[in-house]
Amino acid sequence: MSYIDLQSTLRDWPYDPEKISVRKILGADGIVRLQMRVELGIIQMEAEGRPDGLHPYGCDSLLGYHLKRLEKYQQRNGTTLGYALSPQDCYSLRLEAALYYRRYVSYFAHCDLPLSPPTA
Where are the domains positioned within the chain? 7-109
Output 87 or 24, whichever has higher pLDDT. 87
Query: Which pTM does this prediction carry?
Result: 0.81
Q: How confident is the model at residue 120 (pLDDT cuts 50, 70, 90)?
A: very low
Average pLDDT over residues 47-76: 97
Cα 41 from Cα 21, distance rounded (Å) = 11
In sequence order, the 6+-apart residues with CB closer than 8 A to the CB of 48 are 32
pLDDT in tens, 9-47: 999 999 999 999 999 999 999 999 999 999 999 999 999
Identify the CA nearest to 34 among candidates 12, 18, 20, 51.
Answer: 51
In sequence order, the 6+-apart residues with CB closer than 8 A to the CB of 18 are none
Cα 40 from Cα 48, distance rounded (Å) = 24
